[in-house]
Structures are given as C-alpha cells and as structure tokens.
C-alpha cells in the first residue's frame, strides 16, 4: 500500500479504523472580535474542539492539536485538522493517540507528542501527513506524574536534542505538616526543571536524560530560538498561602511572585524552591520557607529574561520566524497568557516581546486581547476564550488555540 495517504476523512476512517468527523458547519472562517494592532485581523478557523493544549501547523496549513482530555474525542488525544474545500475553515478532523497531553512539535517529518509521562513520535510523509497514527514510537518513558502541574511540553533544537519540561506538584517543597522547607529539596531530582534527551533515540528512560535546567517550578511554554540557538522556557510562579509569614498577606498572594521567562543553558538554576522573583522589586528573593522575609534578596540564581505580573500563567511560547508580520516581530516571542493578574487587572491575552540586539527585551506588550469578551475589572459574564497554544503557519500567520471552547484563531497582517 502506498504510504502517501489521501487525507479524506472517509478514506482515513476506512483504512485505519479511526473516527473522522465533520467540524463546524460554518462556511469559511468567521471574523474574531479580538483587539489587535493596526493592520492585523483575526478569524476563527475551527471551533468546539474541546480542551485544546498546544498546536503545530504543517507546511500545507494543516494542524495537529493536543487535547487535555479525551472525554469528548472518543478516547483520543490528538486531532488532525484540515481544510478540505479550501474555504479557510478547518472542516475535517481526525482523532488519534490514546492519551491526553500538552506538548507537540514537527521536526524532519516526524510528529513529536507527549503524554503526562512520556514522549512519542509518528512518522510523517513528505506533506507532514501522519502515516500510521496507531503505531507511535516511544522516545521517552517514565516521567514523573503526580497529577498536579504534570504537563510535559517539548522543544527541539537543530542538534537532534529533545527538551522536556517536568513541573513540580509542590509549591514550596515543605517538610510534612510544617512551614519549613526541605533542605536539598528531593523533588529537584525528577521535577521542577527541563531535561534533555536525544530526539532520534527510541525507548529512553527518565534516567537516560540530562537535567538541563533546574529550579523552574512549572514550565508549560518552551521553544527553541534559532536566532540565539538557545532554549527559552516560561515559568508559572509558586503560590503563597496561610503557612507563609505575616508579610505574605492575602493581598500579596494575588500579586506575587512574578511569572517569568528564562533563557536556558546547561546548568541554569532559576532557584525554585529556595527563591522566587519579585517583579515589583525586580529582584530574586529568598523564599519564606528558607528564611526569606519579603526583603532579603539573593544573587545565587539566574534572573529571568522577562517578568510578568503574578498569576498571568504563561502557557505557551513561540519565536516568530515568519515574513508576514512587520519586521519588528522577526525573532521576537509571542506568549499565551492563560491567567489573570490583579495589579494591573489584565489577562487572557497574547503578549509580544521584541528581540533587541540579540536578546529578548525586558519590556513586553499586549498583542492580542479581548479573548475574555468583557472588561476583566468589571466582568459581565463568563469568559469566552482563554489562549493556550501558539503556532506559526507556513505563510507567517499566527495561530492561537483556546482551551475553553476548543477554538483556533488565525491572525494575519495586511498593510
């Protein structure tokens, strides 16, 4: 049988015994009411897909989308989405993969995908269409999963290295029934960092990986920047609670710590659980569980490249390499901010960070807003959308996945 598969939903269902579904009944893409810079516009190209996580776009403009839950997808964790009649709407979808998860990338005609405990890959044809969706190869297995902050996001560099994020299920690595932290936090041996594996080696165990960076509480966004030839990762900050000292009042809990982006190199230590970043003081501070009082800073750990207000939840990171957008966007980073901050009140948006003199600027800006659909300071109803995943199309368009309704937006630029 010719392995260059014809991607009609009926053919795939018959050949592979998988489910193929007709998507939204909209004719063509629907305009999206996002707030964007001048010259940009957005359309909705897919809708009602469920709890989307990260996405990747092929050279033909097809999309592979990860799901956080398989309840609405017949037990499957990945959708392949295609525009069969070329009307701008992803009107056909095929579900495969017997696991939910977050990470997904394409490299050298392989689709890499993660569960919450491992990494798999699927052989693709010359058009990046999957050949055998029911026969994944196992790349990495045995990654820790304690149910909380357990997503495994991935990046691939140009040296056949695979980088996998492993989050910590603990906020502060405290001793049991105590406000005191554990010296030599044992969690760091298997979580709260980024591990490096070989992208082309099968059946690697956790122990085969190298701890590339540590002290990162939970990195959901990660990407390789070909301009700097380095990996960057976002971090969800830890939480403060009633066991924290008096300085960490409930009001402070809503503001601190900052959410951050780190440029990673072998041995980078961002400091968790011993330190956190205070974006208001712009300093790395000693954590209260390890003697901090909200005033004591430390220079033992790496400082972030960028810091956001607390609780904005940066859930994906994408370095823009396309040519559609104006020149200032080239090599800069888009960030999907999945949460809401209180000082200032903002959130559920896509931020942009320009690259200046070979480094990410410390000043970020709002790029795409109004996913929430109402004034966040005085909300009038439930959230409409919540940005989760980012991807770049072959034409340079930016795609944004939402995890409330399972909507995918396409953002383009025209002068």
Decide if 375 is inside a domain. yes
Assess contact for 62 and 81: CB atoms under 8 A.
yes
pLDDT value at residue 252: 81
Task: Find all residues with CB under 8 Å of 122, minimum gap 6, and list them.
Answer: 110, 111, 113, 130, 131, 132, 133, 135, 136, 137
Q: Is the peptide bond before 395 cis (omega within 30 degrees of 0)?
A: no
Decide if 68 is inside a domain. yes
Q: How many whole angstroms separate alpha carbon 6 and alpha carbon 57? A: 18
63: number of Cβ within 10 Å: 25
Decide if 1 is inside a domain. no
Decide if 118 is inside a domain. yes
Task: Find all residues with CB under 8 Å of 235, minimum gap 6, and list them.
Answer: 216, 217, 218, 219, 259, 260, 261, 262, 270, 272, 304, 314
pLDDT value at residue 251: 80
Q: pLDDT tens digits for 122-172?
A: 999 999 999 999 999 999 999 999 999 999 999 999 999 999 999 999 999
Q: Which domain holds residue 191?
A: 9-413
Residue 319 pairs in a beta bridge with: 333
Decide if 4 is inside a domain. no
How deeply is 15 buried, as exposed, middle or buried, from its count of CB atoms within 10 A (0-12, 13-18, 19+)? exposed
pLDDT value at residue 7: 37
pLDDT value at residue 245: 74
How close are the terminal C-alpha atoms of the chain, in Å? Answer: 47
pTM of the model: 0.93
Task: Provide the number of structural domains found in the chain.
Answer: 1
Decide if 3 is inside a domain. no
Low-confidence ranges of the chain (pLDDT < 50): 1-26
Q: Which CATH number characterizes residue 350's domain?
A: 2.120.10.30
Decide if 2 is inside a domain. no
**Cα within 13 Å of Cα(116), Cβ side:** 17
Decide if 191 is inside a domain. yes
pLDDT value at residue 27: 52
Among residues 164, 146, 53, 47, the alpha carbon closest in space to that of 100 is found at: 53
pLDDT value at residue 16: 35
pLDDT value at residue 4: 35
pLDDT value at residue 336: 98
How deeply is 287 buried, as exposed, middle or buried, from its count of CB atoms within 10 A (0-12, 13-18, 19+)? buried
How deeply is 373 buried, as exposed, middle or buried, from its count of CB atoms within 10 A (0-12, 13-18, 19+)? middle
Q: How many whole angstroms separate alpha carbon 205 and alpha carbon 102? A: 19
pLDDT value at residue 394: 97
């Amino acid at each position: 049988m010719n392995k260059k598969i014809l991607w009609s939903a009926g053919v795939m269902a018959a050949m592979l015994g998988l489910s193929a579904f007709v998507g939204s009944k909209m004719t063509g893409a629907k305009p999206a009411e996002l707030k964007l810079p001048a010259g940009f516009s957005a359309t909705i190209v897919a809708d009602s897909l469920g709890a989307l996580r990260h996405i990747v776009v092929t050279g033909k403009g097809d999309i592979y989308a990860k799901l956080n839950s398989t309840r609405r997808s017949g037990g499957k964790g990945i959708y392949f989405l295609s525009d069969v009649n070329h009307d701008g709407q992803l009107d056909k979808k095929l579900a495969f993969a017997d696991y939910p998860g977050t990470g997904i990338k394409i490299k050298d005609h392989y689709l890499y995908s993660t569960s919450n405990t491992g990494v798999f890959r699927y052989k693709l044809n010359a058009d990046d269409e999957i050949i055998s969706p029911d026969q994944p190869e196992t790349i990495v297995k045995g990654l820790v999963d304690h149910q909380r902050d357990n997503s495994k996001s991935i990046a691939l560099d140009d040296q056949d290295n695979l980088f996998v994020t492993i989050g910590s299920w603990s906020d502060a690595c405290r001793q049991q029934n105590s406000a005191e932290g554990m010296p030599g936090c044992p969690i760091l041996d298997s979580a709260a960092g980024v591990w490096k594996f070989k992208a082309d080696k099968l059946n690697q165990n956790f122990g085969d990986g190298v701890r590339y960076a540590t002290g990162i509480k939970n990195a959901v966004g990660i990407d390789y920047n070909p301009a700097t030839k380095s990996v960057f990762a976002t971090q969800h900050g830890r939480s403060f609670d009633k066991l924290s000292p008096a300085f960490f009042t409930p009001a402070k809990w809503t503001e601190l710590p900052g959410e951050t982006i780190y440029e990673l190199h072998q041995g980078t230590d961002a400091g968790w659980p011993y330190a956190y970043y205070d974006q208001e003081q712009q300093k790395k501070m000693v954590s209260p569980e390890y003697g901090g009082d909200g005033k004591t800073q430390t220079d033992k750990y790496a400082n972030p490249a960028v810091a956001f207000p607390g609780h904005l939840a940066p859930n994906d990171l994408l370095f823009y390499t396309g040519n559609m957008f104006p020149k200032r966007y080239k090599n800069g980073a888009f960030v999907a901010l999945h949460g809401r901050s209180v000082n200032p009140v903002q959130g559920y948006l896509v931020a942009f960070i320009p690259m200046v003199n070979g480094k990410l600027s410390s000043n970020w800006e709002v790029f795409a807003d109004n996913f929430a659909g109402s004034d966040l300071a005085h909300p009038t109803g439930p959230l409409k959308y919540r940005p989760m995943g980012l991807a770049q199309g072959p034409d340079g368009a930016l795609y944004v996945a939402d995890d409330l309704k399972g909507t995918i937006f396409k953002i383009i630029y025209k002068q």
